[in-house]
Amino acid sequence: MRQFPWPHPIIAREGWPFLAMAVLAAMLADAWLGSFLGGMLWIVAIFVLQFFRDPPRVGSADPDDVLSPADGRIVAIELCEDPYADRPALKISVFMNVFNVHSNRTPLAGRVEQVNYFSGRFFNAALDKASLENERNAVVIRDAQGRLVTAVQIAGLIARRILCYVQPGDELDRAARYGFIRFGSRVDLYLPPDSRPQVTVGQVVKATSTVLARLEPRGA
């Protein structure tokens, strides 16, 4: 296990405008509308603060370990087709509720081969149909051994904004912060089909800290 470099503050930069508005609204309510409404808005501000937390993490440095790209709960582990890289794959899906950290981190080091955004609907992200019908952004990464991993950010029932900060040709480190999804969502990983899952459906996982699967070394 190692501590990965973390160049961002403990509160995600995406959250500062929302936090500032929530705190300002609570202060004005305290001054002009009374303590009850002010107290309710302070509760909202505390919720915003916890939603946009972005803590540093430690995780495996083994290049064969696929790190979780998000906090949440495993809702699917299945063999299927990767529709973004056109290949058979093992899919592992992580569902994030509004109390999870929503900063997304890269599952392994590698070069970005594709970044594709798809508009779509906003079903509950815990449902299977969300994978291919909801608004989503797919990032295909090839590691130093030529193994492909596709990470798909998926909007949820409440989420309306997927943020992705990488583009084709970028070289990514393990656990690098590459995106953010606001207010409840899901991340699907499509791995080589011979990958070995290290988690089970229903398990709670942490971004970077949890190993989702082991990749088979190329040529093994």
How far is it, in rounded angstroms, from Cα 86 to Cα 207?
Answer: 26
185 is catalytic: yes
Candidates 60, 185, 195, 209; catalytic one: 185
- The CA distance from 161 to 105, in Å, is 17
The secondary structure element, H or E, covering residue 188 is strand 185-191
Q: Please state, in angstroms and rounded to a whole number, the distance separating the CA atoms of residues 194 and 197.
A: 9
d(CA 191, CA 95) in angstroms, rounded, equals 17
Contact criterion met (CB below 8 Å) for 93 and 131: yes
CA 172, CA 179: separation in Å to the nearest integer?
Answer: 12
Which positions are annotated as active-site residues?
185
